[in-house]
Structure formats: C-alpha cells, structure tokens
Amino acid sequence: MKTFKLLYIQRIVFITMVVLSSCSSDDKNPETNPETNPEEEQEIIRTIEWTKTFGGSNEDNALSVVETADGGYAIAGYTLSIDGDITDKTATDSDYWVLKLTREGEIVWSKTYGGTGDERAEKIIKTNDGGYAIVGYSRSNDEDVTSNEGLQDYWIVKLNGAGDIQWEKNFGFSGIDRAFSIVQTNDGGYFITGFLDVSASNGEGNDDKSKNNEKHGVGEFWGIKLDISGNKIWRRYFGGTNNDRSYDVLQTEDNGFLMIGSSESIDFDVTNSKGSYDFWAVKVNSEGTKIWQKSYGGSEIDVAYAITSTGDGKYIIIGDSRSDDGDVSSAKGNADLWMIQIDGNGAVLWEKSIGGTQFDTGRGIFTTQNNNFIITGNSRSNDVDIKENKGQSDILNLLINSKGVVQWQSTVGGSLAEFGESCLETSDKKIIIVGSSESNDFDVPSNKGSKDFIIIKYKEEK
C-alpha cells in the first residue's frame, strides 16, 4: 500500500512539473504561442448590426465621421440634393452636409452649409468645447461664405454641438486651393492641410520668405496653423514643380505636424522620388520649419490617403499602390491597398500590400482601444486576399494588428458601386464605417438617388 501511494504521488508531481514547464515555455517564447504571435491571423468575428443610407435624389457623399459626446455619430460630406433627407437646401449646387445620428442610426439633425457656388466637406473633428470643425473647399462668396479669393479656397467652419455656425474662415489665392484634413492642436487651435496652387498664387502662401524665388507648381502641400478662433498664425507650403497634394495630417508627440499625401515632383523639397507618384510625408516642427521629408513607393502611381499614430512614436500610412518594385514587395494586382509603418524619422519599419487582381485601396484608418487598426476603403477584386465582391466596387473593411497582419475582413456592397471613406471604433468597441453607395440590393437596404451616404455599424460576436 505504501509503495502504491508513493508511485501515485510521484506521478502527480511529474504531471505538475510538465504542465508548469509547458506554461513557462509559452510565456518565455511568445512567437510559439498562437495567441500572441503577431504574424498569425487571429479569428475575430464581427457582424453588421445595421446599415443605413441617407440622401436625396441627387449625389450625396459621406467622407468623414466622429463619435459624438452622447454616443451618436456626426457625419460630414457633401450633397447636391434638395429633397429626401436634405431639408434646408433649395439649389442643386454642392454644399457641406453634416448629419447627426443617434447610436441606433436615427437622424437627430441634418444641416447644410455653403453659398451659391460649390462646397465639399472632406473632414470633421470633435472640438474641445463640445462642437465640431469641418474643412474642405468653397467656390462661393455669399450666404454662409463671407469671402473667396479665387477659384477654390480652403474653407473651415466651426460649429457648436447643435450644428450652428460659430465662425468660418477661408484661405486661398486666385487658383484652386483645397483642404483635406484638420486636427485640433494641443494649444486649442487648429492645423489644416491640403494643397495650394503656387503657380496661381505667384509664390504667396508661405510665411517662410526663403521660398519666394522658387518656381513651384500647380499643387503643394499647404499647412496652415490657426489659433482657437481660426485666425492664421503661420502658413507653409512644400513640394516641387509638379503636382503634390496632402490628404491627411496629425500632430506628433513633439508638437510638430506630419503631413502625408502624394508627390509627382522630383525637385525643390522632394529629394528622393521613387517614381510617377509616391507616398510623400513631410514632418515640420511646431513653428512650421521642415524637419524631414520622405518618399515611399515604386515606379508607378502610389498615393497615401490617411495616417494614424501607433502610440509609440511610430505611424501607419495607408493608400494604394500600382507599383511592383521599389519599396513595394508583394504587389497583387491592378492596384493594391498599400500600408507602411514608419518611425519618427520616416524610416520604413514594414510594408504590406493587400488586394486582388483588380483595383483595391485604403482611404481611412483608426487606432482601436487595444492598439489594433481599422481600415476602410474599396475593392473591385474577389480573389487573392479579397474574399468576396458583390458588384462593381465594394466597401472593404479590415482590422490589422501592429505588424499589418489582417485579423478580420469584411466587404459590403450591392450590384453597383460603394466606396468606404472613414472609420472609427466607438467607446463601446463597435465599428462605424461611412462612405457612399449607388446600390439598393444585397447589403444595401435602400437608395434615395444617384449616390447616398452609407453608414455601417459592426458588432463583435462573443
């Protein structure tokens, strides 16, 4: 009996040691643990909670979304409609359109802003006072728009929480100048970016007078620092003799700014061009002085549309690439959703192509609460990396980890064309996607006209 008990105890001790050794090994070697291996795709199941379309009988396009203080959503874009969900507009020119929704997707209020010319809103942000700021462009100098300097100006509109205009400002010269992005800065002011036609401004638009004799081209990255009331503090432009456009910006940890977009130039500020059009990033300090600039891409057309911080002094930039050489290592088709991670000095840490044999692109990116990243864009593919296509173009939604590995993928659309433009994770960890839709079948519940706002809400299945 004593021998039996001794053997039993020895067996229990042996099993316990094996289990502890196994657990210890997994903890010390996370690469061997599938739950912590960053290169392994994780199965995350998200399903559509609801999809809604809004608009009138003409063209309506949603381009940006924020979560509001009450848990709803404010969506900005533009409308040419004068009917349907658009209730305060009587002319078919294009105006800024902001739609405030509840978290269930019901309309709280709908407001348009502009003059008798065309206005298109590109980006909306929440402001520290509970309101909103919107940027885009304006061709008007009447009604809501108090002045215009040329064919097309940057137009920033500051709203209160109810959507009423508190102030508005325009910036531009005699040519086509267009804002695409805005951030509220750490000092309570704003920074806006887009492009300036320097050939039409005769070199004006840069408070750094050292550029006065440079013959820049039809499009430059144009960054403007504003105070809390929208008054100009400084302006800077960057680029070369060809077409350079900034589509997004963020404030960096050192209170500078990182502008991204595309560049076609090979001269002046652009010193390391890779091909036809490149991803181009320009880092400036808090006074607007250029710290560095970098080009990324291959010999074909590569365009960056959005940037986000990874929270550790690094950044992920997304867009699309038609290249299969240079910095692009794994091209899939006609054009791919291309993403790169860079460090604070602009060095590439990794790059990834996602797509099929047709056209695929990324347009919006958002950092989640657990340091993954939501990406939205659109896809015409149904092969290679893309699992499904419903029609001409579908909204493509991805969740990636910090290494660019896809954790979840979803395509949404009907038999016609859908485009994803902006995305966010809500405070309760739902996903919101906005863009435009032409369909009224498959995933799209209805169509009000030519093109509608589309809003998609995902929930995670437990």
Q: Indicate the pLDDT class of residue 257, thresholds 50, 70 and 90.
A: very high
Q: Is 199 helix (H, G, I), strand (E, B) or coil?
A: helix
The DSSP symbol for 389 reads -
* CA 207 – CA 409 distance, rounded (Å): 45
111 residue type, one letter? K
Plot region of 311 (φ>0 → left; ψ -120 to 50 → alpha; else → beta): left
> Does any domain span residue 13?
no
Q: Tell me, yes or no, whether 35 lies in a domain.
A: no
Q: What DSSP letter does each residue of 141-158 carry, written as one string?
A: -STT-----SSBEEEEEE
C-alpha to C-alpha distance for 115 and 89, rounded to whole angstroms: 10
pLDDT the model gives residue 211: 67
What are the pLDDT digits (tens) for 152-194? 999 999 999 999 999 999 999 999 999 999 999 999 999 999 9
Look up the domain containing 260 and give its range.
Answer: 46-460
224 falls within a domain? yes
Looking at residue 190, which CATH number applies to its domain? 2.120.10.30
14 found inside a domain: no
- In this model, does residue 12 exceed pLDDT 50? no
**Residues in the chain, overall count:** 462
Q: Please, are residues 160 and 98 in contact by the beta-carbon 8 Å criterion?
A: no
Nearest alpha-carbon partner for 364 in 438, 429, 432: 432
Asked whether residue 269 is domain-assigned, the answer is: yes
pLDDT for the residue numbered 212: 64
pLDDT of residue 16 exceeding 60? no
Residue 9 inside a domain? The answer is: no
pTM, two decimal places: 0.91
Which has the minimum average pLDDT: 38-52, 278-292, 438-452? Answer: 38-52
Please state, for a pLDDT cut of 90, what percent of the chain lies above it: 87
Average pLDDT, the chain: 91
From residue 298, how far is each of 176, 279, 322 by CA, in Å? Answer: 28, 9, 8
Of all helices (H) and strands (E), which one includes residue 252?
A: none
Per the model's pLDDT, the better-predicted residue between 417 and 43 turns out to be 417
pLDDT confidence bin for 461, thresholds 50/70/90 = confident
DSSP structure string for 12-75: HHHHHHHHHHHHHHHHH-GGG-TTT-TTSPP---EEEEEEEEE--SSBEEEEEEEE-TTS-EEE
Model pLDDT for residues 383-413, shown as the tens digit of each residue: 999 999 999 999 999 999 999 999 999 999 9
pLDDT of 215 reads: 75
DSSP code string of 415-436: SSBEEEEEEEE-TTS-EEEEEE
Q: d(Cα 301, Cα 324) in Å, to the nearest integer? A: 10
Of the CA atoms within 13 Å of residue 304, those in its CB half-sphere come to 35
Spatial separation of the C-alpha atoms in residues 275 and 298, rounded to whole Å? 6
Residue 37: inside a domain: no
Tokens 């395509």, residue located: 411
For range 131-140, the mean pLDDT: 98
List Cα–Cα distances, 263 to 31, 96, 245, in angstroms.
39, 27, 7
pLDDT > 70: percent of the chain: 90
> What gap in Å lies between CA 247 and CA 28, rounded to an integer?
43
| Model confidence band, residue 29 (pLDDT cutoffs 50, 70, 90) | very low
Q: What is the pLDDT of residues 78-105, one digit of tens each?
A: 999 999 999 999 999 999 999 999 999 9
Mean pLDDT of 141-153: 96
DSSP state of 285: -
The answer as to whether 23 is a domain residue is no
Give the C-alpha separation, 388 to 46, whole Å. Answer: 16
Amino acid identity at 352? K
pLDDT of residue 10: 41
Opening angle at CA 112, ends 180 and 150, nearest 5: 50
Count of domains for the chain: 1
Distance CA 419, CA 391 (A): 12
Distance CA 133, CA 125 (A): 5
Q: So what's the pLDDT on residue 301?
A: 98
Q: Tens digit of pLDDT for each residue in 266-289?
A: 999 999 999 999 999 999 999 999
Per residue in 325-376, pLDDT (tens digit) is 999 999 999 999 999 999 999 999 999 999 999 999 999 999 999 999 999 9
Rounded CA separation 320/305 (Å): 8
pLDDT band at 43 (very low <50, low <70, confident <90, very high): low
Taking residues 118-129, report their average pLDDT: 98
- For tokens 């010269």, the residue is 173
